[in-house]
């Protein structure tokens, strides 16, 4: 069995004065502050943009040597926006295969080292650079096109979709680690600055820097644990929305959800990948947690909110308002779900939560990973 023993997070924001290594250091220090740990078997680093920006290769080793803590071995994992959960998957499997007992996962990325234009160009590489991203699609165009199809196909109006970001901001307001800690009104979303229409600034994740750390252990090494990891599973999707049978259905997510029986078991807490409003909704529908074409309405009527009948979705504020430091985000998700299951999340929470999910994808869904967690 693999346990989440400790977690640490840096408040996402514009940390101009800090390097990826500085941010990683802070997250790890917070995670291990009260842990009786004198060494780490393995450090697994999740990062994505760092390789295009700094640039720095063998990143994990350089982070390992700057932590002030003996680390036996280190490697880095890159899977675009899905890097964080990919690193968790690798770490869990290192423990399950008895290659390590104490594995530290650190996710880190910076989105403010360059002006937004060059950053959008780097983010364009999350899409297929040999097909769709030959063109200047930026970071949002494929999802903007999905949003238009969704509104047209299901007859959902723009303002109904605005309840997603409103809920995310309401949650982030209570989360001390979130980047955008203020409420927004749903009626302001449609008329905000356009990013790629119909996506506006208030549908899109902010460009922020962050790092999160999670200590995974095999047994009762540290004493008390926050949560248990029951399953980690990944799947690969179509390389373009153009190749999907139905552009609005992430088939590989639906398949994974079926394999994990997610729609049949009671889930209390979910942190999922809402890089843009539409993706939060499409993931709920692809996971089988909302009927096709109905997720927006369920969100608008509070079904996924703290007092709703459904699972509490993105109590952190989600990518939209907690923030989305690309490769680090999945590690934030696992840290947040673990804190929820332990009743220690410092924000909107669901007391007594027993089962939680972290659901990540890259871009339009080139890959996905789902982590199933339980309270201990």
Partner 1 sequence: MVLARWWRTRIPRYRLIGAQCKSCGRAHYPPRKACPYCGSTELEQVMLPRRGILESYTVVQSIPGDTRFQAPIIVGLVRLENGVRLVAELTDVQPEELKLGLEVEATMRRIREDGDNGTIMYGLKFRPVLGKS
Q: By the criterion CB under 8 A, which residues form the site for partner 1?
A: 116-118, 120-121, 123-124, 129-132, 134-142, 144-146, 148-149, 152, 193-199, 238-243, 247
Q: Which is nearer to partner 1, 62 or 114 (CB)?
A: 114
Nearer to partner 1, 142 or 356 (CB): 142
Q: What is the DSSP letter of 275?
A: S
Please say which residue, 38 or 152, places its beta carbon nearer to partner 1: 152
Least separation, in Å, of the C-beta of 374 and partner 1?
36
Which secondary structure element, helix H or strand E, spans residue 92, and what is its range?
A: helix 83-96
Residue closer to partner 1 (CB basis): 134 or 183: 134
- Taking the C-alpha atoms of residue 59 and residue 168, their distance in angstroms, rounded to an integer, is 32
Distance of closest approach, residue 147 Cβ to partner 1, in angstroms: 8
Judge contact between 345 and 339, C-beta under 8 A: yes
Cα 238 to chain centroid distance, Å, stands at 20
Token pair for 73: 């071995």
Provide, rounded to whole angstroms, the least separation between the CB of residue 116 and partner 1. 7
CA within 13 Å, CB half, 148: 11
Task: Tell me whether residue 180 or residue 312 sits nearer to partner 1 (CB atom).
Answer: 180
CA 318 to chain centre: 7
| Strand extents, DSSP E, 47-186 | 71-77, 102-109
DSSP letters for 14-75: --TT--HHHHHHHHHHHHHTT---S-EEEEEEE-STHHHHS--SSHHHHHHTTSSS-EEEEE
Q: At what angle do helices 277-286 and 163-172 cross, to 10 degrees?
A: 100
The distance of closest approach from Cβ of residue 197 to partner 1 in the complex, given in angstroms and rounded to an integer, is: 5
Strands 312-313 and 269-272: parallel
Q: Find out whether 330 and 337 touch, Cβ atoms under 8 Å.
A: no
Which residue number, 224 or 246, has a Cβ lying nearer to partner 1?
246
Q: How far apart are CA 143 and CA 161, in angstroms?
A: 14
What is the nearest approach in angstroms of partner 1 to the Cβ of residue 311?
Answer: 30
- By C-beta, is 69 or 238 nearer to partner 1? 238
């Amino acid at each position: 069995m693999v346990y989440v023993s400790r977690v640490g997070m840096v408040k996402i924001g514009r940390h101009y004065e800090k390097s990826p290594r500085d941010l990683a250091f802070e997250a790890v220090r917070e995670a291990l502050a009260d842990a009786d740990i004198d060494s780490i078997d393995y450090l697994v680093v999740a990062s994505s943009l760092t390789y295009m920006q700094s640039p720095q290769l063998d990143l994990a080793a350089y982070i390992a040597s700057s932590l002030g803590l003996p680390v036996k071995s280190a490697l880095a994992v890159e899977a675009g926006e899905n890097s964080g959960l990919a690193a968790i998957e690798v770490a869990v499997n290192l423990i399950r295969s008895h290659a390590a007992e104490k594995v530290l996962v650190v996710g880190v990325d910076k989105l403010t080292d360059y002006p937004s234009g060059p950053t959008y160009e780097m983010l364009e590489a999350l899409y297929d650079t040999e097909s769709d991203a030959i063109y200047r699609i930026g970071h949002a165009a494929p999802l903007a096109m999905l949003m238009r199809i969704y509104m047209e196909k299901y007859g959902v109006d723009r303002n109904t979709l605005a309840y997603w970001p409103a809920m995310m901001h309401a949650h982030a307001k209570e989360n001390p680690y979130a980047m955008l800690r203020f409420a927004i009104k749903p009626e302001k979303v449609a008329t905000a600055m356009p990013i790629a229409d119909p996506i506006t600034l208030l549908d899109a994740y902010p460009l922020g820097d962050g790092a999160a750390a999670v200590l995974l252990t095999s047994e009762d090494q540290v004493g008390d644990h926050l949560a248990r990891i029951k399953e980690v599973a990944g799947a690969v999707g179509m390389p373009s929305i153009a190749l999907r049978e139905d552009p609005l259905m992430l088939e590989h997510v639906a398949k994974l959800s079926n394999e994990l029986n997610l729609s049949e078991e009671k889930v209390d807490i979910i942190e999922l990948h809402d890089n843009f409003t539409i993706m939060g909704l499409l993931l709920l529908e692809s996971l089988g947690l909302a009927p096709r074409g109905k997720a927006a309405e369920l969100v608008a009527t509070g079904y996924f909110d703290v007092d709703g009948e459904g699972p509490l979705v993105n109590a952190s504020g989600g990518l939209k308002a907690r923030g989305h430091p690309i490769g680090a985000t999945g590690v934030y998700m696992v840290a947040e779900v673990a804190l929820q299951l332990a009743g220690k999340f410092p924000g909107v929470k669901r007391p007594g939560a027993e089962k939680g999910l972290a659901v990540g994808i890259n871009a339009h869904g080139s890959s996905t990973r789902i982590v199933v967690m339980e309270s201990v």
